Each structure stands twice: as structure tokens, then as C-alpha cells.
Structure 1
Amino acid sequence: MSVEGEAEMLANVTRLEVEAPKKARKSINKGAEIFAKHLKDDTPVDSGALASDVKVGAMKSSTGRFEKQVGYSGKSAWRAHFPDKGTKKQRAQNFSIRAQEESRDEILEVYAEEMRLLDD
């Protein structure tokens, strides 16, 4: 997707939030689940504790925009950083970035479908 296409999609997401908040919340829920699945799949297997600790937070709209946090719960969040970003003795695995990249097109398609329904 080009930068222009991305800007247009973000404008459409904003339009969806304003004109159809119920559809926007539905899209955000679907998108959060898609990202959580990819994050779980891309998390390296150690004892399995990190992958099983991927959580999807509650819907928030305090900033005027709907959002959901996806990540590791408090008991594992501090630990996930080390294999993901690396240390002096461990190379970065960048699994959180990989999960974002793998989720991107699927999530954009969810929004695009809701936009098509909005325009019908």
C-alpha cells in the first residue's frame, strides 16, 4: 500500500468512527484479535509462558478514538522486551514488528469491508 493509500485508509477509519461507531468498534475488535493471533504465533517458544500470556485489552475511547491494547500481560510484559528487542548477549528477534507486518493487510481488509458496507 502506498503512502497515499495509507493516508486515505486512515481518513476512512476516522470517517467510520464518526459515522458508524458500532462498525468501528466491531472492526477494532476484529483487528485486535487478528494482531493477537499473529503475536501469539510469532512469539518464540521458551516455556510457552509468553505466547500464552498475549492479551487483548478492553475497548477505550478516552482520546476520542476507539482503541484496544494488545500485548503481554503484566506478569510477562517485562520479559518479552528482551528477546524481542535484544540485549548485548542476545540478538533482537523483532517478533512484535513481524506480527504487526503480518497483521497489517488482514486488518486493513476488515476496515475496507466495513467501509464498503457504510457506502452501500
Structure 2
Amino acid sequence: MTKGLDGILAKLTELQVKAPKVARSAVGEVAEQFEQALKVNTPVYFVMDGMHARDDTKVTNFKGGDHGLISKDIGYGRATGWRIHFPDDGTKYQAGQGFEEKTINEMTPKAKEIFASKVKEGLGL
């Protein structure tokens, strides 16, 4: 039996092999929650064309299934993705806001908890 959260997360690869359906549900749940947190943390600013980055967040379909790795990408769409690094990283005229890193730091513990509960469920621990 695995003890501790880090030990359970190490079993995530085993979960992808033995119970891919449960692994997909875990990745999907984390991706949805991550997208919601990204929407909350993304600043809204005036844009001439009316498309805000907050309204253009995207979650891709599952990737890496043929290699045994189940994942999804979370980010921004084509309309705003090219310019999002300016407010996030900053320029010589404005300080960086760091909202992408803030979202990652905020969601990491929540993602670990979701993965741990799904590993316990899928592997019967």
C-alpha cells in the first residue's frame, strides 16, 4: 500500500495503464477546473475587437494516448493567445502580472488531490 500524497501520485502512470478510463476522467476534471481558475485570474482590459483573453480560454482534446500518456493542454485560443505574454510577462512599459504562474501555483495542490482520489478509486488503494 502506498503512503503519502507523493507516493499516490507516483502511481498515476500505473493508473494510466491499468485503468485508462479513470485516468481520463481525472485529467478531464483537473483540466476543467484549471480552465476555470485561469479565467478568474486572467485580467480583462479594453480591446477594440471585443475579444478578451478571459473569454478565449481553451482546453484541447486528449493527447498522447498512443504513447500511454494521457494529457490535455490548457491555454488561450488563436485570437488572444499570441498577445497574452505581454500582460503576463510584462514589457519595458508595464510590469508583468504573472497570472499564468499564479494559476499554476493555485491549482497544483487541487490537482494533486483530484489525482490522488482517482488513483485510490481506480487502483483500489
Give the TM-score taking structure 2 as reference length.
0.84
The answer to whether the aligner puts 1:76 opposite 2:75 as a matched pair is no
Aligned partner of 1:46 in structure 2 is: 45
Aligned partner of 2:14 in structure 1 is: 15
The answer to whether the aligner puts 1:35 opposite 2:34 as a matched pair is yes
Aligned partner of 1:92 in structure 2 is: 96
Helix, strand or coil for the counterpart of 1:89?
coil
Tell me, in whole angstroms, the C-alpha distance in 2 between the residues paired with 1:59 and 1:35.
15
1:63/1:87 CA distance change after superposition, 3 Å: farther
Tell me which structure has the larger Cα radius of gyration: 2
Please list every run of 5 or more consecutive structure 2 residues that lacks an aligned counterpart in the other structure.
none
Tell me, in whole angstroms, the C-alpha distance in 2 between the residues paired with 1:74 and 1:99.
20
Q: Deviations over 1:40-92 (max 9, x none)?
A: 00001114611000111111115430110100001110111100011111111
Tell me, in whole angstroms, the C-alpha distance in 2 between the residues paired with 1:99 and 1:31.
12
Q: Deviations over 1:13-52 (max 9, x none)?
A: 1111111110000000001011101110000111461100
Give the TM-score taking structure 1 as reference length.
0.88
Q: Share of identical aligned residues, percent?
A: 36
Tell me, in whole angstroms, the C-alpha distance in 1 between the residues paired with 2:78 and 2:70.
22
CA contact (8 A) 2:56 2:80 kept: yes
Runs of 4 or more consecutive aligned structure 1 residues displaced over 4 Å after TM superposition: none
Give 1 or 2: higher helix fraction.
1
Q: Which one scores higher on RCO, CA 8 angstroms, separation ≥ 6?
A: 2
RMSD value, Cα: 1.7
Shift, 1:5, TM fit: 5.2
The answer to whether the aligner puts 1:57 opposite 2:60 as a matched pair is yes
Tell me, in whole angstroms, the C-alpha distance in 2 between the residues paired with 1:87 and 1:108.
33
Whichever residue aligns with residue 124 of structure 2, its letter is D
1:92/1:63 CA distance change after superposition, 3 Å: farther
Aligned partner of 1:119 in structure 2 is: 124
